[in-house]
Amino acid sequence: MLESSQIIQNRYQLEKILGDNPARPTWLAKDLQSHDRSYPEVVIKLLSLGGQIQWEHLKLFEREAQILQNLNHPQIPKYRDYFSVDDRSLWFGLVQDYIPGASLKQLLNEKKRFAESRVKRIATQILQILIYLHELNPAIVHRDIKPSNILLGKDDNIYLLDFGSVQDKPINQGGTFTVVGTYGYTPMEQFGGKALPASDLYALGATLIHLLTGLAPSELPQKNLRIQFRKYVSISEDFAIWIDRLIEPALEKRFSSARQAVQELIEGPKVKTDRTKQATEKSLVKNNSGCGLSSSQPVPAEIQGWNWGAFFLPLFWSFPNQVWIGLLSLVPGVGFVVALIMGSKGNEWAWKSRNWRSIEQFKQHQRGWAIAGLLVMGLPLTGISFGVMALLGALTSTSAGFVVVLPLAGIAYILYQSKSK
Ligand SMILES: Nc1ncnc2c1ncn2[C@@H]1O[C@H](COP(=O)(O)OP(=O)(O)O)[C@@H](O)[C@H]1O
Ligand SMILES: [Mg+2]
């Protein structure tokens, strides 16, 4: 019988029991030979053969040691040692780093409540660890994700514990298998011996429901094998839909990978309502500036319309906006037509010609040109530089038309400005 302060292997001084499984106790201990004197605490998982403990358990225990030894993730406790002790009975011990903190089960027992934002952060961290495990070759399926196997460290990070149930090889059809997992958290397919990465996602979903409701999944009602949790939580619809996809009884409807689950948690569900869909589409076209004149990319509705700067000053406007078609306004006889085309297509072409930081930046720039155009071309209206304009008109056919168009343009521009406000 092991007792606190007992030293085993001449090295590990037991301090207190952490795990409540009497046949397979988990102890907090002090490593008396620790190289790092400021960090002597370790966790020792022990297994004694005999009684109810079968070879099956030893197989899982040895595998746990082997797997842990090969894992390297900052949020999985590091392997330190594996040993066997042969006194009156045969003992096996697995030593790993101790992580100060409390398991989610301890926190739930203390009636701690978990808000949506906190549960999302926990989910994201567990999914990141699962991405690491599931993308190893061969994939490692934890098979026993539940609150007692997840630790909230004092450093506020989440750690995944207990690799005593892992599966690292696909199970042969027709072969024997050990059913592992915990009722309520384990999906149906796992009871049939078929544990896949998606099985860990189901267990994660059930764990999150436990955090949100304070009730173990086995205490919640079920309908068509699905945990009915909505009445017990007050969370956003998007998050509830996302959890639904984790606890789908049917494998083909469940998230197929941790990567997909985390992506949709961050980006929101793929199946969107019409309103969110429209909003996304709008935000998608926002940044297609600089896509080239011949591109068929859509132009945001907000910038479509008449461009007064391009119309009034087609030649000068062309340079900073990189719309070289404006140079044609120099050609006698067609200048005015070019100015009309520039006015109507200027926004679209300028938008596509170069990269704009935002629609607002684009609008501001064009507004500046419109004002400049009005000032320069508006002068003839005052009569001060009518002669200059006439001269310009003789030089470029563009300006000749302005005498007729300007008064109308001025009124239209004022209307346009007041409408856009
Ligand atoms: N590395 C560790 N650091 C801190 N606490 C741990 C660590 N490993 C286990 N524990 C604590 O011990 C408990 C039991 O350990 P676990 O590995 O889950 O064994 P069991 O097979 O009994 O479930 C955990 O719920 C956790 O509270
Ligand atoms: Mg455990």
Domains of the chain by residue range: 7-97, 101-271, 289-420
What is the distance in A from the centroid of ligand 1 to the CA of 111?
A: 20
Q: Which residue has the least CA distance to atom 18 on ligand 1?
A: 162
Q: Per-residue pLDDT for the chain (421 aa), expressed as one digit of tens each?
A: 788 999 999 999 999 999 878 778 999 999 999 887 777 899 999 998 877 767 888 888 999 999 999 999 999 999 999 999 887 778 899 999 999 999 999 999 999 989 999 999 999 999 999 999 999 999 999 999 999 999 999 999 999 999 998 887 666 556 666 677 899 999 999 988 888 999 999 999 999 999 999 999 999 999 999 999 999 999 999 999 999 999 999 999 999 999 999 999 988 766 555 555 555 555 444 556 777 777 766 677 778 889 999 998 998 999 988 888 888 888 877 888 888 999 999 998 888 888 777 777 888 899 999 999 888 886 666 555 455 555 565 556 555 455 555 666 666 666 666 555 4
Task: Give the ligand at the shortest distance from the Cα of 21.
Answer: 1
Q: Which residue has the least CA distance to atom 15 on ligand 1?
A: 19
Pocket test for ligand 1, best of 162, 180, 182 (most atoms within 8 A of CB): 162
Name the 3-class secondary structure at 147.
helix
Topology of domain 7-97 in CATH is Phosphorylase Kinase; domain 1 (3.30.200)
The CA-based angle 198-199-204, given to 5 degrees, is 95
Task: Judge if the beta carbon of residue 182 lies within 6 A of ligand 1.
Answer: no
Question: CB of 14 within 8 A of CB of 3?
Answer: yes
* Closest ligand 1 atom number to CA of residue 162: 17
What is the distance in A from the centroid of ligand 2 to the CA of 7?
A: 24
* Closest ligand 1 atom number to CA of residue 21: 22
Q: Which residue has the least CA distance to atom 25 on ligand 1?
A: 148
144 is catalytic: yes
Handedness of CA 211, 213, 218, 224 (dihedral sign): negative
As a whole number of angstroms, the distance between CA 308 and CA 379 comes to 16
Name the 3-class secondary structure at 94.
strand
As a whole number of angstroms, the distance between CA 242 and CA 144 comes to 21
Is CATH 1.10.10.10 the right assignment for the domain spanning 101-271? no
Residue among 399, 389, 313, 303 nearest 353 (CA): 303
Strand order of the β-sheet with 150-153 is: 101-103, 150-153, 158-160
The pairing of strands 12-17 and 26-31 is antiparallel
Q: Name the DSSP class of 16.
A: E
Task: Judge if the beta carbon of residue 25 lies within 6 A of ligand 1.
Answer: no
Asked, colleague to colleague, whether 7-97 and 101-271 share their fold, the answer is no
